Structure 1
């Protein structure tokens, strides 16, 4: 079972890493004791219930404050996690740290919080790359200092709670790099500007070799969403050419935005799963064109446009070749056949939606290949 420390680290590893920090919200110092925390909670509750103005450097939102105080007073393991990302300030003598230890930590926190804010802002300011580099370097410096970890060990002793064991420090050590990378992974899946996130990840020094694995894990739901939607669209096309326009609209709405994000974060030139998705998208366009030719008219102008789209998305030579073959045949039929002749020489879409569509007029060897694919 995952320990509460690890769970807490994974829960907060997103763009709100610092904004939702319990110490940031309550305005309390990371070294505050339970008695002072309880008194502050009672004061805040009374002021808010009276409708008076709350003088604080933190939040004035009642729900945010309630959650933050519950976090600080409820479970010391979750509190310790928030201390890692809160402001340590000058040592008060209780933790035994030298001033530079706290200073290095707080500089890392400020730089990282500022870097997240810059990456959330609209494009136009390029210093976000320098700020992320600085944040990564500051956190790396802080984590490499043995006194950083000694501070946390001393905090475990100071909190003196049976739920908080010394092993919590080892768990924080093993998860901290992933937690610091979490805001980037969150933005990789949700930001309007994924290319900026990709640039930061290229030289983000904290994760090392594990960063690519974290990116793959973060993008897995994106893959699944796009792949499932594409399969569903290919099945819809089997219902007839009347489904083409709604299918293409749905492709534009639900699949292509996800694909573009994946192409930025995990380019098809380097990742087979993205390349396969490219071909699946091309197949939707291609089978749409074939569906119109089969049941509509080979003179329909949409056919050329859809084949152009298919060719633009096709990522493998095999897919591009099949699209080219069907384009040549469609052009031939449009020029040289009557309606009656066309009915006997129509292109055939891939009925399984998992291989390349072919034409009845293409070589018998290709037909056998397609039949094997369909039957398998």
Structure 2
């Protein structure tokens, strides 16, 4: 009974930026079609050389400076003895001309070997192991993605893989394993990106490359899984820094809280920008929400403190920066409230608009009652002298004249203000 390929860890061993460099055929220099006797003869030759030298150069396509060490070379030869491991490495190395009885279309081998060489070469450049200029890497990425994407989307590799399994003739691996091998290959091909995204400049440049990979069905959805761990680690770091800043705020160590938010939390959030296309919307909004709330809370508390103690110029700048950053970072659901806080803080500190409400003055009840008493006494005296009807007529007429006079004063005042605004 054969053991399914998925139970072996060769895919995990090769994953990363050195997936081609660690390939057993790259290390030993053997062709992928090498049979038992050829492998033994080549191994004897290599071991004789390693007996007098410290390293073996390996295949010229990806040979590292100084070659490979003895232990790595010997481990690679041992790996060739297991067909289940060997077939993983064959998928990622050169097949050569299609004259080995596999009946593949010649274009399949040509496209496959081009994909291997292009991908290996651009990975060497991105990891600093070659001097290829940045401006020349875009075309390598584009062609590597296109070659691998079409080969795996079309299913044209399956015939060759099944042929190679038959050629090896090892009972530990049957032809049905070809489907398992090809199903796991896409994840291995894109496994270098989490390491490459550790550098922010590289990450920003390669975001479009990842999108190109994801445009082919075999790679669709893989990037969210690949970057899930990176996003989770970044989230945990941001959350930890926010908690520390919150404790400093609660202890009234406002300067320390501000520095934590400015120098660690906000840069940590901004560093996640290259991962944005590969992180779910709800996850990104969750992180944006807690960062915005942390910034906003400190800004509002500093504003409250400023009511009792006028802030310095630097403290005013800090408050405005906190409120503005909170609005910029916050998700859509928080934008209205954060914008209102930012505008209020800005207007309060710069004097350009709204200001805090002035303290309410107490109503002058004594004066109000005194005026009522005077008016009531006067009316009572007039009624006794002239009677109630004449007093009412005169009073209503006076109120009408007074109302007209007040209306004219308001109109003139409005016209004067309008003139001042236009100037």
Q: CA deviation at 1:161?
A: 2.0
Q: Which residue of 1 aligns with 2:86?
A: 79
Q: Distance in 1 between matches of 2:112 and 2:222?
A: 24
What residue is the counterpart of 1:50 in the other structure?
52
Q: 1:35 to 1:247 in 2, by over 3 A?
A: farther
Q: Which residue among 250, 260, 263 is the counterpart of 1:252?
A: 263
The 5 Å alignment of 1:35-184 reads 35-51=37-53, 54=56, 56-57=58-59, 58=63, 59-73=67-81, 75-91=82-98, 93=100, 95=102, 97=104, 99-120=106-127, 125-143=134-152, 148-184=157-193
CA spacing shift, 1:86–1:311, aligned 2, 3 Å:
same
Give the match for residue 274 of structure 2: 264
Q: Tell me the TM-score normalised to structure 2 length.
A: 0.65
In the other structure, the counterpart of 1:14 is 16
Q: Cα deviation per residue 1:295-317 (whole Å; 9 max; x = unaligned)? A: 79561513333333333322335
RMSD of Structure 2 on Structure 1 (CA): 3.9
* Structure-2 residue corresponding to 1:28: 30
CA distance in 1, matches of 2:88, 2:319: 58
- Contact persistence 2:115–2:148 (CA under 8 A): yes
Partner of 2:252: 241
Structure 1: stretches of 5+ with no match in the other structure: 342-376
Q: Is the aligned partner of 1:321 residue 2:332? A: no
Q: Is the 8 A contact 1:86 1:109 kept in 2?
A: yes
Residue number in structure 1 paired with 2:380: none
The residue aligned with 1:299 is: 311
SS at match of 1:203: helix
User: Whole-Å Cα distance in 1 between the matches of residues 127 and 322 of structure 2?
Assistant: 36
Query: Distance in 2 between the 1:145 and 1:328 partners?
Result: 59
TM-score, scaled relative to structure 1: 0.72
Give 1:30 deviation, angstroms: 0.7
- The structure that has the greater radius of gyration is 2
State the distance in 1 between where 2:240 and 2:230 align.
16
1:290: Cα distance to partner? 4.5
C-alpha spacing 1:27/1:17, structure 2 compared with 1 (3 Å): same
Q: Match for residue 358 of structure 1?
A: none
Is the CA contact 1:241–1:295 (under 8 Å) kept in the aligned structure 2?
A: no
Residues 167/61 of structure 1: CA separation in 2 closer, same or farther (3 Å cut):
same
CA distance in 2, matches of 1:295, 1:66: 70
- Aligned pairs for 1:198-237 (under 5 A) are 198-204=207-213, 207-208=216-217, 210-211=219-220, 213-236=221-244, 237=246
Structure 2: segments with no counterpart, 5+ residues: 360-423
Distance in structure 2 (CA, Å) of the matches to 1:200 and 1:293: 45
Give the 3 Å change call, closer, same or farther, for CA 320–127 of structure 1 in structure 2: farther
